[in-house]
Structure 1
Amino acid sequence: MLFLEPFFGGSHQDFATGFTAHSRHDITLLTLAPEYWRWRMRTASLNFLQKINQVRDYDLVFATDMMDVAQFKALAGPDCPPLVLYFHENQMSYPLSAKARQRKPDMDAGLINVNSALAADQIWFNSHFHLSAFLKEVRHLIKQMPAPRPKNMVDQIQKKARVVYPGCRFPSTPDTLASAAQTSPLIIWNHRWEYDKQPDLFFKVLVRLKKRGILFGLAVLGEKYDRYPAVFDQARERLDNEIQVFGYEPSRKTYEKWLAAGQVVVSTAIQENFGISVVEAVRFGCFPLLPCRLSYPELMPEKLHPDIFFRTENQLVEKLSFHLQQPRACVDKRNELSRHMQAFSWEIRALEFDDLLETIT
């Protein structure tokens, strides 16, 4: 099988390396650096085709969303084997930043996603939420098109679409998680340093807790880029006494130790199609406090939804205050959630991937 990853960084890199390491199939992985994403959308297929001697030497192509699959199949010609397209994200439902909203909408990347979905033999999405959001945007896109509008686009996509959850890098057996029973009041924030994770709300809540005199530690572990929201620098000054680590941790072992030391993991995201960072933290013993939206509800056991989800800033303040002041109150629920996340380990998820791929001819 040929695996094409045009944006080999962050969660895309974790997915590609995790799958290739755990699959029982023989996989050739071709990648491009995680930069210039708009150019990747337009030209990744050209780069990959120059690296491939004979595409017919492979029985299947597995590609992710940041490339033009229709272009790849057209240029590969009749020798192109069946192609599975995996959507980590899509460019139509991704929320625009305030600056981007001021510019004229750029539909090019979204159209590439749609054309890729139409060209692929199968389309896999990383959550039910993501699939639903994508189809909703396709319907909206069709309404904006001038007549004559293409027919049956949504049906064509829906017929070959399915949800296949990704795997995560963590132990698949509970006995490796002894350190996850710690109950120190440490808050974990392990998301990308970008506006779509809504860090402004997160830090605003922490400042409110600090003003109440509630003690806590803070581990900000997410990946950051050269340009990031100014609220992070402001938070470093206002929460200096609480911060224990502030920045991306390149050592996987050290990163996991921080997760195991955590009491609670918080997300305030307005964009999340799966949520690997939350699943990882919960697996290592953190209790999740999450917005009641996006992919999160389908990942968490329904009976614990009232404890996990918040709808307002004040609800998050109160739930987080409870966990910090009564750290032993939810130990059993934390352990139950950790076991629930076991299903997302690559050791388990790779089995479904492999079985599904063997059905494609």
Structure 2
Amino acid sequence: MKFLFIETFSIGSHALFANGLVAHSTHTIDLIEMSGENYRWRMLGAALYMAGTIPNIDKYDGIIVTDLFNLADFKALVGAKCPPVMVYFHENQLTYPQPIGDKSVFMLGMINITTALAADMVLFNSTMHKNAFLKAIPEFLNRGRDFTPKGIAEKIRQKSNVLYPGITLPPFSKVDSQKQTDPPLIVWNHRWGFDKNHPLFFNVLEKLQEQGFDFQLALMGENFGKIPKEFLAAQHIFKDKIVQFGYVPSRAEYIKWLKQGTIVISTAIQENFGMSVIEAIIMGCIPLLPNRLSYPEILPEEFHEQFLYQNKYDLIEKLSHTISDVAAYEETRNKLVKEMASFLWENVIKDFDLSLEQLVMR
């Protein structure tokens, strides 16, 4: 079968997912990409642009889009020749924490809702994400002054499913020979955005530094715009501990840092899946994650007590214990690596291919 993947925000997890699906699927998938910037404009205008630039759209058996796209506009513009469409939700604007004063929130949230309604199949990257989005719809629509639509969440629920995105990494081997444990290397491989809550991360590290713990830091992840002030301050506070500062564009170099890493920490206030965390775990990093968001879902239950923290003080305690005796986690870490390898593309692609086939048969 032949599919068209329209990715209007090709950066980070969006780009990894699109290219991973294209590379591993048994079906033929043509990929059209737009650069990963101006996401509001992508949601507002990409459909108009794409509808006028894709030739012979009816030659495809199906189309794949993601949540930063106005599918309702696109289908209206393309008309009856539009093949069935699957939308994959990496995030949504209803539950995503928004900057104060952002007046576009309601409009972008409506685009997410109409996109899900217009789709023939809706996939989410976690059960937590699906449930949060569907739960948020009635309250969101009640913001309207009158003529509030009813039953929208249930209509979307009936055609929704969950498929975890595949992880693109080389096979796990010989990682231990590159692992840095003396002093331990703490990895930050998340975006430098406010929703990842880096102030808490640096605050916790300051507490450990004051207590005399020795560690090193690799501060990676993408950053858009100005460098946040907390990262600039960290350059001074941890000047003798930082071994990498800034985004690593080379995938091979990025993986090299993960292989060296000892511990990966998340302090996020928003996370629908956790691709960067899973990448680090598969490469042998010990995770310390908040006991909320998608993390209790993606981390096997047997590891919850050790690696999910309840609050800042629990994180400090767990991190200090881990740094003090990294060797004690060796057996658990190796077991965790094997468990999380279930997210690699070769282990999830059959489910995606089956969903694409089901899309065509609808």
The interval holding the TM-score normalised by the smaller chain is over 0.9
SS at match of 1:278: helix
- Cα displacement (A) at 1:298: 0.5
1:247-286 maps to which residues of 2 (within 5 A)?
A: 247-286=246-285
Structure 2 residue 194 is the aligned partner of structure 1 residue 192: no
Structure 2: which 5+ runs fail to align?
A: none
State the Cα deviation string for residues 131-164 of structure 1 (Å, max 9, x = none): 0111121021122223322121011010001101
- Check conservation: 1:291, 1:310, Cα contact below 8 A: yes
Q: 1:104–1:74: structure 2 CA closer, same or farther, 3 Å change rule?
A: closer
- Cα displacement (A) at 1:180: 6.2
Aligned counterpart, 1:242: 241
Whole-Å separation in 2 of the counterparts to 1:191 and 1:239: 18
1:1-361 maps to which residues of 2 (within 5 A)?
A: 1-96=3-98, 100-102=99-101, 104=103, 106-171=105-170, 173-175=171-173, 177-179=175-177, 182-184=180-182, 185-360=184-359, 361=361
- Read off the aligned partner of 1:137 and give its amino acid letter: A
Q: 1:47–1:176: structure 2 CA closer, same or farther, 3 Å change rule?
A: farther
- Read off the aligned partner of 1:55 and give its amino acid letter: I
- Cα displacement (A) at 1:21: 0.8
Whole-Å separation in 1 of the counterparts to 2:101 and 2:16: 33
TM-score by length of 1: 0.96
- Check conservation: 1:180, 1:285, Cα contact below 8 A: no
- Check conservation: 1:268, 1:290, Cα contact below 8 A: yes
Larger CA deviation: 101-110 vs 1-10: 101-110
**Overall identity of the aligned pairs, in %:** 44
Whole-Å separation in 2 of the counterparts to 1:164 and 1:106: 26
- Check conservation: 1:30, 1:48, Cα contact below 8 A: no
Q: 1:180–1:270: structure 2 CA closer, same or farther, 3 Å change rule?
A: farther
- Check conservation: 1:263, 1:323, Cα contact below 8 A: no
- Read off the aligned partner of 1:76 and give its amino acid letter: V
- Cα displacement (A) at 1:176: 5.6
Larger CA deviation: 109-118 vs 225-234: 225-234
SS at match of 1:167: coil
Aligned residues: 357
- Cα displacement (A) at 1:105: 6.5
Aligned CA RMSD, in angstroms, stands at 1.4
- Cα displacement (A) at 1:211: 0.6
TM-score by length of 2: 0.95
- Read off the aligned partner of 2:156 and give its amino acid letter: I
- Cα displacement (A) at 1:178: 4.7
- Check conservation: 2:10, 2:33, Cα contact below 8 A: yes
- Read off the aligned partner of 1:209 and give its amino acid letter: L
- Check conservation: 1:7, 1:37, Cα contact below 8 A: yes
Whole-Å separation in 2 of the counterparts to 1:262 and 1:106: 37
State the Cα deviation string for residues 272-297 of structure 1 (Å, max 9, x = none): 11110000000000110001111111
Structure 1: which 5+ runs fail to align?
A: none
- Read off the aligned partner of 1:297 and give its amino acid letter: P
Whole-Å separation in 1 of the counterparts to 2:105 and 2:29: 35
- Cα displacement (A) at 1:181: 5.5
Larger CA deviation: 5-14 vs 219-228: 219-228
- Read off the aligned partner of 1:259 and give its amino acid letter: L
Whole-Å separation in 2 of the counterparts to 1:274 and 1:35: 21
SS at match of 1:330: helix
